[in-house]
Each structure stands twice: as C-alpha cells, then as structure tokens.
Amino acid sequence: MEKVKCEPCKIRDRNNVSIHWCVICEEALCSECTENHRSMKMLRHHELIDISKMPAHTLIVEHSCLKHGKMPFEYFCIDHDVLSCKECLAENHRSCQKVMSVDIACKGAKQSQSFIDATELVDHVLETTHTICKDEKSCIENVVKEANSVKTAVKIVKEEAIRHIEALEKSLLHDLDLKKDEIIQISKTTINETEDIIKKTKDKKDIFDLVDKHGSEKQAFIAAHAYKQDLKDLEKGVAGITEKLTRFKISLNPEKSRESINSLGSIELSEVQSAVKFVQKKKCQSQMPIVQPHSLPNFVHKRDLVIKNASIYGMTINDNNEVILVDNRGRGRILVYDKNNNYKYQIETKHQPWDIALIPGKNSGVLTSEHEEVLQFVDF
C-alpha cells in the first residue's frame, strides 16, 4: 500500500507518514497526531483504525449541501424525509412542524429502518448483479455450443447437396457468425453495464459496512439519506437490465428437397425471457420518532442588551451569569458582558467563529468556525 501522509501535519508543512485513520474525522494521522487525538476529551472516543484498512473513498458520507456551497447538513425534516442545511431550511421547510437537528435525529440510526433498508438494498443489488453476470456468461457458452452444433448440421446438409450448395454454404456460415456475434455482443454489453453497477454498488457497500462497523450514528443516518438517490439509481439500473434480459437459441432450419433447394437453410433465433428476476424493494422511509411539541413557559421581559456593529451568531452564559456572545463580523471576536449587561472585555479570534460551548468546570470554551474545519479553545 502506498504511504499516506498525515493530514494535520500537511497543514503545518510537515511530512509525516500516517499510521491510523480516524473514521469520524475522516483523516489520516501520524503517531504524534494519533496521541494528540486520543488525549483530547472531545476526540478520544473516535474510532481509529489501522491505515492499511483505510477505505478507497476516504469521504464516507457527504456531510455538506451541494446546492448551497457545501453548507453542512444540520437539520432533518421528518415531513419531507430529507437532510437540510440552514439555507434549505429557510427556503423549503420554514412551515414544516417536524424539523430537528441531525445530532438528535441520528440517535439509533444504525437500527433504523432507513439504514437497514439501505444495507439490504446494497446486498440485494450485488446478489442480483452477480447472478446476471453468471447467467450471461453461461449464455455465451451455450450460444457457442449451439453455434458449433449448427456448424455440424450445416456440414451434413452440405454433404447431401455439395455440388449445388457450396456457394450457399459460405453465405450461411457467415450469417451464422453474424448472429452469434450479435448475441455475444449483446451479452457482453449487458455484462459491462452490470459490472459498472457492481463497482458502484461495492463502493456503497464498503461505505455502509465501514459505517456499520466503525462509524458514528450520525454518519449512518446521513449515509442512509445522502446516498438515497444513488441507491435508487442503482436499483433502477438493475431493474432496467433485468427487464430487457432475453435468451437466444441458434438452430438450423434446413431445406430437405435437393431439387428445389436454393439455400442450405437459415439461422433462426428464438428469444425467451431470462429466469433472472429483480424485485425492487419499497422506497426507504425514515423511521424517525415523531417528537411532540412541548409548550414553553411564560417569559417576563426584563431588559434589552443592545449590541452595535456586530453579527451575533452564538451565545451562552457561564456560571457567573456573564453573557458570552460570538461576533461573526470581520475576523470575529468574543464579547463578554456581566450579569447587568455591562461590557467587560472582548477576545479576538484567529478564525471566523460560528458558535461557542463552555467546558464544564473550567473557565474556558470551544469555538466552531464558519469556514475552516478547526476548533478554537478560548480561556476567559
């Protein structure tokens, strides 16, 4: 196996060879980065596998919305059974009542009917396509045998009318070869189409197997839905192949009368439907629980906190009742106000921030970034 470079080290212009691959982060790690990975509280429970077992497609599941500049999938609409980014939510699901975050919706995804249906469909497609290939190869062998039998029959007829039909023999055999080649070409074309589906289906199976064995519930949930159209296309492709599968039989229809014979006969094809069948499974339906809305308590307005020249994307309150705000404007910053809404101080951030979470028991927090795939740790 070709040596894989450590991805975190690439960012720091280092040239270290990776020894592990993180299934959750979907990146290769060297020995040093592996130790760092295992020592961090937020990352220590990630599944690390040997680099030799790294999948060919390192992006297990597409986490981002292709329609909206690869914004992350953060929501799941039960009404429409689709994943949504923030823009999708605003455009298409504003009036939907049953929308929840992916982190909540993905709980128990490996046991959900959607994921089970997806894995069963992959196995079903692979099983059927293998049967198609085996059947088509058998068809080629039988066609070759039948063609050889026809050649023998042609020679027998030729001996009975050798002087009269030598010129016709050549034409008849040529017609036989054309029809034989036509059948073989049809079968080879079917095999090529089927092997293409097998390759694509195996890719999906590798992904679903990896998610099933090592992936997170979130990855399983997103995989079942993100590849829904791909699986439908594979299913449709197999159904299309099986619908047009036919069998040809080559035989000789000789002319018996020597006096009136104008040809040795004709090559006839009898076409019958293949025994291979493919029954399409029902459309995958998400088995997400319906969350009943809870009534909110009554709130009493006390005062306003007015923030000027800022774009607030996230907020939280620490144990001292201080209000901590995430300002996404410019390079970004953290604004801290006391419990009386008085400004205390601000912290500049290296990467443009998106949201913040406090670390329990510590006077520090973790920032997510809007554009970079990094976490920023902040001490207050």
pLDDT tens per residue across span 306-360: 888 888 989 999 888 899 999 988 878 999 999 888 889 999 888 888 899 998 8
How many angstroms separate the Cα of 358 from the Cα of each of 76, 129, 315, 373? 26, 52, 10, 19
What confidence tens digit (pLDDT) does each residue in 24-77 have?
Answer: 888 888 998 998 888 888 888 888 888 887 766 555 556 678 888 878 888 999
Confidence band, pLDDT 50/70/90 cuts, at residue 258 = low
Confidence band, pLDDT 50/70/90 cuts, at residue 162 = confident
pLDDT value at residue 275: 80
What confidence tens digit (pLDDT) does each residue in 96-109 have?
Answer: 989 999 889 888 88
Q: What is the percentage of the chain residues whose pLDDT exceeds 70?
A: 89
Confidence band, pLDDT 50/70/90 cuts, at residue 130 = very high
Angle subtended at Cα 121 by Cα 117 and Cα 126, rounded to the nearest 5 degrees: 155
pLDDT value at residue 165: 64
Q: Which long-range contacts (CB under 8 A, 24 or more apart) does 31-34 make?
A: 33/6, 33/8, 33/9
Closest CA to 226 of 238, 208, 200: 208
Which residues in 228-265 are b (16+ Cβ under 10 Å) and which e? beebeebbebbeebbeebebbebebebbeeeeebebbb
What confidence tens digit (pLDDT) does each residue in 261-282 have?
Answer: 567 678 888 888 888 888 776 5
pLDDT value at residue 287: 47
pTM, rounded to two decimals:
0.39
Per the rule left: phi > 0, alpha: psi between -120 and 50, beta: everything else, 70 is: left
Chain mean pLDDT for the chain: 84
Please compute the mean of the pLDDT values over residues 296-300 and round it to a whole number. Answer: 65
pLDDT value at residue 52: 81
- The CA distance from 226 to 219, in Å, is 10
- The CA distance from 18 to 297, in Å, is 52
pLDDT value at residue 54: 76
Q: How far apart are the first and last CA of the chain?
A: 46
pLDDT value at residue 60: 53
pLDDT value at residue 350: 86
- The CA distance from 296 to 274, in Å, is 62
pLDDT value at residue 280: 76
